[in-house]
A and B are shown apart, each in its own frame.
Chain A
Amino acid sequence: MADRLRVRFAKVGKIRFTSHRDVARMWERALRRSGLPVARSQGFNPRPLVAFGLALPTGCESRAEYLDVTLASREGPATTQPWGDSYPDLGSLAAALSDFLPEGVDVVALAGLASDAGSLQQEVSSCSWELEVLGVTASELVRRVEHLLDAPSVSVQRERKGRQFDDDLRPSVRSLALIEPPEGVATSGSSSSWLRTELATRPRGVRPRELVEVLGTDLVLARARRTQQWIERDGDRWEPLSVDDFGRTIIAPHAMERAS
């Protein structure tokens, strides 16, 4: 029996303007309402044991957010699921959690996790994004993308702990290309272009806004949507919890295997 659950959820629409901390609070309340026996930390101020992956910048959407929930062990024979009879299967648990979450935050996949599975923070090494960009024509944008990809290094100024640092962005840009507007997405006008990019999370994550800024200060990032997070090992890569079809709850076979 798994003592941890991994949940994949989407964050789309108006709610994209809430922060990572806001989303953590939404989850704490939703988990309490769900009645799941979530383990709590020790000490004077016990908190539910919930671990979130990479923070999503405020204003960005995502189809690939994750959290790991540690479940409290139950008294008695461990033959039943730790959530008892309230949820006969993971699918109905996922649906119930979505009901307890605000509009725009929805569970898209959920699975048990082996106790030796690494943490999201440690394991995820890159993220894929779709970005809607305004300000220049598609052909001009193509030119700038090629220029960036050809450059040996791309310098950005960042501030950390009150000091200025000069970081090279280029190694973190794994891929970058123009794409057709994604299906079912309302675009911000006829002059908009869409980019798909994969950005490494190490040594430091690249924010979509930073990438768009190095493509030109005349560009406006109208919309950013994280579509995948990737775990990479030994030349192989996979999602922490994959989902075949956005919106349909499935239990990722891969994760189930690891959890068994």
Chain B
Amino acid sequence: MESLWPSIEPLLDGVSKPARYIGGEQGATVPIHRDGLVAWLLVYPDTYEIGLPNQGLQILYELLNEREDALAERSYAPWVDMESAMRRAGIPLFSVENHFSAATFDVLAFNLSAELVYTNVLNLIDLAGVPVRGAQRTAAHPLVLAGGHCTFNPEPLADFVDAFVLGDGEEVVGEINEVLGGWLATERQLRDRAALLEGLASIEGVYVPSLYRVDYDGPVMTGIRPTTPRAPTQVVKRTISDLAQWPYPKRQLVPLTEVVHDRLNVEVFRGCTRGCRFCQAGMITRPVRERPESQVRSMIRAGLERTGYDEVALTSLSTADFSSIEDTVRAVVGGECGDQPVSVSLPSLRVDAFTVATATQIAHARRTGLTFAPEGGTWRMRRVINKLITEEDLYSAVDAAFSNGWRRVKLYFLIGLPTERDEDVLGIAELGRRCVEIGRGHVRGPTVVASVGGFVPKPQTPFQWFGQDTAGELRRKVNLLKDVCRGVRGLSLRWHDPEASVVEGLASRGDRRMGAVIERVWRAGGTFQEWSECFDLSLWEEALAAEGLSLETVAHRDRDADEVFPWDHLSAGLHRDFLWSDWQDALSAVAVEDCRWTPCYDCGACTDAGLEHVVASGVAPAGGSQGTGQDLSVGDRVPVRFVTTAGAR
């Protein structure tokens, strides 16, 4: 195999951020390719600076390179300038370690973290010199795999990806490698791709879409079922029961150039049981599995020493809920994990004063901004989405933040939520205004940023039945907010492109027919659709029209109780009747508690898999109504006992 570096190097003087393409990160493995090793190319279908920190990809990279029968390299989507330079020069997609051509690998394994990258997946398969449609590939082509959160409805990519992996990858990656290794050991002329795919389908958690037939009745999908007994009627996600057995990454990659999350990242738990109904990640990663505190500490200590980073992030879906959070933070700040100053970041703050106290303890540097996510503008709205933050929680958190020296508070909200009324939308501005007032009591010129995103209903959540707001309706709601926020000094409003939210909705809940739409958009040049400078709604509208599909049926239509979903044959462990009853509760603004500390609702995630929540401590973390005792009160008014008005004008 020949390195493409000599032909890549001359291109790099003419492209933006050329360090994206050179590899050489600390912690990288430059493997030697030889017969008997299954060669994996792990591909992140977005830019290097977005993809490099991805923990899932780094974990699989290490696990595969540790095996004696596998090797792994990495590749990222070249930015548009580099892609056109490569296509002009006839250079295919390449790995960043050996700079080998992608097509020389046995597997192209994609990480799917977001739906708007789907056109990039097609582009990268094509740039690798591999036919984009699975049906056109032969035994001489690499196998195309995909994993990540989007695989809980992979149907839009079913025509392009040979097999999808559902759930945690740590164990299943080895099982796939063994099947592949066996297949590659047979003589080249005798290799049968169909046999390989059937072999993969027999692995738990692996979904091979070409072995399933979809039935339609006009525009309506009526069912999906396997065409061979080797494929299961339902594919259930993989779950690792004990995070302690997987202390990865052990050698986190330290990039040579600037990337997002450029710091040591240590995963403290997986899963979340807060039960926020809009949150796909929280639903599909259950149950909660905490890492033992001692292991968290030793991973931090070893990681800081090895990398030289001065910041560590404790990652999870809700890090303030880690039952050993206080001890861990105290240990790091107290110098037990290294003798140089370290700052700790909690990527997801819970909204209460207790959490701010923790944040204050750790952020002796960079006290610039704190971010909270109340998500809904009124208590009624927050009960609908089960994000149980009272105004008291929010105001005391914001008060604690400003009184501890922070000058900027950022609040995340969703609009376009089920049952939303204009008063719920306007509630966002009211919360923001009150927060600015609180800030004036402590600092000069406090800033509150309200960041508003259009809600996208996701598969395998209680909101999978909900008809998404149209772009026009989302824009109307943004305009409502713009009007009222304009008059409030210190409050600024930011919003996501409503049209991008609608396209994300298409890709999230579309069925297999969406594949042709994605292919059309890609062929028309629509790559990097998650980047506002590249996003183009008209490409999607034209492609939908050409395929006889509409935004209305895929995105904006409310689903009935008996709707057949394109993901009905794929299980994240959640019972459909649990999701339906949670949806009904949402519609009547009835909240549910965090099941880590209360009786089980039998959602299915633990019971069917024979698992339990694994917590490092038997006591729930203290603080706020989101701590031990959640406020489930029904009724539109919640008594607010604490509002700081000192200094308000």
Query: Which residues on A are within 8 Å of B, measured CB to CB?
Result: 14-15, 17-19, 21-22, 25-26, 28-33, 40, 44-46, 58-59, 100, 102-104, 188, 221-222
Contacts and interface: CB of A to CB of B under 8 A. Distances in A.
A59 B258 contact: no
Contacts of A40: 341
B310 A58 contact: no
Contacts of A29: 254, 307-309
Interface in B287-340: 305-310, 340
B649 interface: no
Contacts of A33: 305-308
B88 interface: no
B308 A221 contact: no
B443 to A, nearest CB: 13
B24 A102 contact: yes
Nearest to A101: B26
A25 B258 contact: yes
Contacts, number: 65
Nearest to A60: B13
B221 interface: no
29 contacts: A14-B5, A14-B22, A14-B23, A17-B12, A17-B19, A18-B22, A18-B256, A18-B257, A19-B257, A25-B258, A29-B254, A29-B308, A32-B308, A32-B309, A32-B340, A33-B306, A33-B307, A33-B308, A40-B341, A44-B365, A45-B366, A58-B18, A58-B19, A59-B13, A59-B18, A102-B26, A103-B24, A104-B24, A221-B13
A101 to B, nearest CB: 9
A22 B340 contact: no
B367 interface: yes
B169 to A, nearest CB: 28
Nearest to B366: A45
B219 interface: no
A32 B257 contact: no
B370 to A, nearest CB: 14
A25 B255 CA distance: 10
A28 B258 CA distance: 13
B546 to A, nearest CB: 41
A215 B12 CA distance: 22
B10 interface: yes
Interface in B16-56: 18-19, 21-24, 26
A17 B310 contact: no
B344 to A, nearest CB: 15
Contacts of A221: 13
B308 A15 contact: no
A9 B353 CA distance: 48
A218 B618 CA distance: 72
A38 to B, nearest CB: 9
A29 B338 CA distance: 14
Contact of A45 (B254, B257, B365): B365
Nearest to A104: B24
Given A44-B366, A58-B18, A59-B12, A28 B24 contact: no
Nearest to A30: B308
Contacts of B26: 102
Contacts of B365: 44-46
Contacts of B19: 17-19, 22, 58
A17 B258 contact: no
B332 to A, nearest CB: 15
B59 to A, nearest CB: 22
A102 B71 CA distance: 23
Nearest to A38: B340
A21 B309 contact: no
A222 B6 CA distance: 12
Given A29-B308, A221-B13, 17 more contacts: A14-B5, A17-B21, A17-B22, A18-B256, A19-B19, A19-B257, A22-B256, A22-B258, A25-B258, A32-B309, A32-B340, A33-B305, A33-B306, A40-B341, A44-B366, A59-B18, A102-B24
A5 B13 CA distance: 33
A80 to B, nearest CB: 18
A64 to B, nearest CB: 20
Contacts of B306: 33
A11 B367 CA distance: 35
A32 B310 contact: yes
A15 B18 CA distance: 10
A28 B308 contact: yes
B257 A22 contact: yes
Nearest to B365: A45
Contacts of B5: 14
Nearest to A134: B10
Given A100-B308, A103-B24, A17 B18 contact: yes
Contacts of B262: 25
A56 to B, nearest CB: 13
A25 B309 CA distance: 10
Given A17-B22, A45-B365, A222 B254 contact: no
